[in-house]
Amino acid sequence: MAEPDPLNERDGEARLPGARMAAVLAFAPIAALTLWLAGIADDHPWRDATVDLLQTYAALSLAYAAGTRRGVMLAAQDQHRTQPPGIDPLLCLVVLLAAWALLFASPPHVFALLAVAFAAQGAWDAFAVHAGQADARFGRGRISTTLLTVAAMVAAFLATA
């Protein structure tokens, strides 16, 4: 029996075998911290630290998403598949700065703002796929992580409200 080709074709694109696992592993701390936050009492000694950890990790994940988007834009531009990105590099910078600014927001509002920011980033990435600026596999991976992360931020908002 032949060994499976890690770069097998799906929808005309090469698949990256570890990409889905990387997305799951990146979301795991958000899931764990959100579940822990929802399950502990308001007077638990680790509650404030849990809120801080979740807020920090989510803000860093948002900054990483902006950087990933910038990398995808540069790769598409290198392959001459699209026109120069126009305002997109500036928007990546705005998302990055917003992520860092959210480190200084207070709960529960920070989780609502993070949910909106992740949803906006996910929508922006989906539009990039539809405009041909990114591969479909990027869009498939981003939509699932966006939905999960937005749901986690809403749950964190409710747990801290």
Confidence label for 129 from pLDDT (cuts 50, 70 and 90): confident
- Report if residue 1 sits inside a domain: no
- Report if residue 10 sits inside a domain: no
Q: What is the dihedral of CA 119, 75, 134, 89, to 10 degrees?
A: 40
- Report if residue 9 sits inside a domain: no
Q: Whole-prediction pTM value?
A: 0.82
Per-residue pLDDT, averaged over 35-63, amounts to 95
| Weakest mean pLDDT among 51-65, 68-82, 84-98 | 68-82
Segments forming the whole domain that contains residue 75: 17-39+46-160
| Long-range Cβ pairs for the range 73-82 (8 Å, 24+) | 73/128, 73/133, 73/134, 76/133, 76/134, 81/132, 81/133, 82/131, 82/132, 82/133
Q: How much of the chain exceeds pLDDT 70, in percent?
A: 84
- Report if residue 22 sits inside a domain: yes
